[in-house]
Amino acid sequence: MNRRICVITGSRAEYGLLRNVLRGLAAAPDVELLVIATGMHLSPEFGSTWHEIEADGFAIDARVETLLSTDTPTGVTKAMGLGLIGFGDALTRLRPDLIVVLGDRFEIFSAAAAALIAGIPIAHLHGGETTEGAYDEALRHSITKMSQLHFVAAEPYRRRVLQLGEDPAGVFLVGGLGVDAIESIDLLDRDAVEASLGFKLGVRNLLITFHPVTLEDDTEAQMFELLGALEARTDTQLIFTMPNADNGGRKVAAIVDAFVAKQANAHSFTSLGQQRYLSCLSLVDGVVGNSSSGLAEAPCFKIGTVNIGDRQRGRLRAASVIDCAPRRADILTAIDKLYDPVFRATLADLENPYGTAGASAAIVRTLRDYPLDALVKKRFFDLPWCGQ
């Protein structure tokens, strides 16, 4: 009997990481692949990126609406409740043997909670990581505790999952899925990227993504500090990708729109899609903002990252990452360092702490073969006391 495996995806970024896992499961003769699209995928405001899923040849077996208004804590809470109801219905109808989720988004938390109550085992990808400036941190670790299988990107993350009391037999160190995606995608050349974006790249180019810092109350002020620093970069093409659906996300997007409207060298995109985004990474001088992509994917292209503020505090980072405070002067100093010839010379031998390609294939093998009997009933595995 085929194993019914349901992959749940809620955003453009996470789907890009899951794409090769989906392909591997779809090609497996002993797997019946199910797909649930939720969150930002279903919203025109965020690009209706569910079209990308279908364009890749994957049928969407259920759509779970979550986004009402996520610009406030109340809105996010209601979205989580709406998602819990929708996932409860979808999982009852689809009856998967196992669900696969990635990361730390609030809609993914709702999916995991619904599966937990339904007695459906959960495979969690990219657990054990930390993002101390966002409530995603707590959601990620909560999803870990609801899951039975864990696929982590680096050894410190494996140890952290074990520290949470998970069975070592169910924790697999596979590397980062972003590295996998880069290795398997056909990147566009400069002419194709320029045609797709609708403008010519300059001598200097920066890719900018700034998400709300959900455990702080000054995200808008931080955004104005960033734009104040970028305003002086009139010699640089500034390519913005819009923020996630989080507290304050619409306000950040509106600030970006206003900036782009008055800056001839600034351009914004709701969603670049994985191919265009990675192609841009291959052509720009660096990444600026607070997105995990600057830490996980940008090092593969031997470019620098200006990582602003605390949103990604606690994540592993390569030597290409320049951390700075969310203040205009500090951001300007960090951008100057990014262009410094001495710094740029160090990037040639850069190593990515998120490993090399192969994560997707390893995940698919385990999802196909791991015995599911008795997975739902978990034991808490205590670590030995230090010094004893």
* Whether 230 and 260 share a structural domain: yes
Range of the domain at 275: 187-349
Cα 59 to the chain's mean position, in Å? 22
Domain count, the chain: 2
Let me know if residue 329 belongs to a domain.
Answer: yes
pLDDT of residue 184: 84
* Residue 72 CB coordination number (10 Å): 12
* Whether 282 and 315 share a structural domain: yes
* Whether 231 and 159 share a structural domain: no
Q: Which residue has the tokens 């360092």?
A: 337
pLDDT of residue 257: 95
Let me know if residue 263 belongs to a domain.
Answer: yes
Let me know if residue 182 belongs to a domain.
Answer: no
* Whether 155 and 206 share a structural domain: no
pLDDT of residue 135: 85
* Whether 90 and 203 share a structural domain: no
pLDDT of residue 69: 66
**Direct distance between the N- and C-terminal alpha carbons of the chain, in angstroms, rounded to an integer:** 47
Residue by residue, what is the 3-state secondary structure of 318-351? CCCEEEECCCHHHHHHHHHHHHCHHHHHHHHHCC
Residues 6+ apart with CB under 8 A from 128: 144, 150, 152, 156, 157, 158, 159, 160, 161, 164
pLDDT of residue 20: 95
* Whether 38 and 133 share a structural domain: yes
Q: Which residue has the tokens 């995603």?
A: 136
Let me know if residue 272 belongs to a domain.
Answer: yes
pLDDT of residue 141: 96
Q: What is the CATH number of the domain that holds 321?
A: 3.40.50.2000
* Whether 342 and 365 share a structural domain: no
Q: Kindly give the confidence (pLDDT) of every residue in the chain, 388 residues in length, as a single tens digit, with 9 standing for 90 and above.
A: 799 999 999 988 899 899 999 999 999 999 999 999 999 898 888 788 899 999 999 999 999 988 766 678 888 899 999 999 999 999 999 999 999 999 999 999 999 999 999 999 999 999 999 887 778 889 999 999 999 999 999 999 999 999 999 999 999 999 989 888 898 889 999 999 999 999 999 999 999 999 988 777 788 999 999 999 999 899 999 999 998 877 778 889 999 999 999 999 999 998 898 899 999 999 999 999 999 999 999 999 999 999 999 988 888 899 999 999 999 999 999 999 999 999 999 999 998 888 878 999 999 999 999 999 878 788 899 987 644 4
What single letter denotes the amino acid at residue 254?
A
Element (H, E) at 36: strand 31-38
Let me know if residue 388 belongs to a domain.
Answer: no
Let me know if residue 53 belongs to a domain.
Answer: yes
Let me know if residue 382 belongs to a domain.
Answer: no
Residue 117 to residues 105, 111, 370, Cα–Cα distance (Å): 19, 10, 21
Q: Closest Cα partner for 84 from 59, 106, 53?
A: 106
* Whether 156 and 27 share a structural domain: yes
* Whether 169 and 226 share a structural domain: no
Let me know if residue 376 belongs to a domain.
Answer: no
* Whether 146 and 288 share a structural domain: no
* Whether 111 and 259 share a structural domain: no
* Whether 74 and 56 share a structural domain: yes
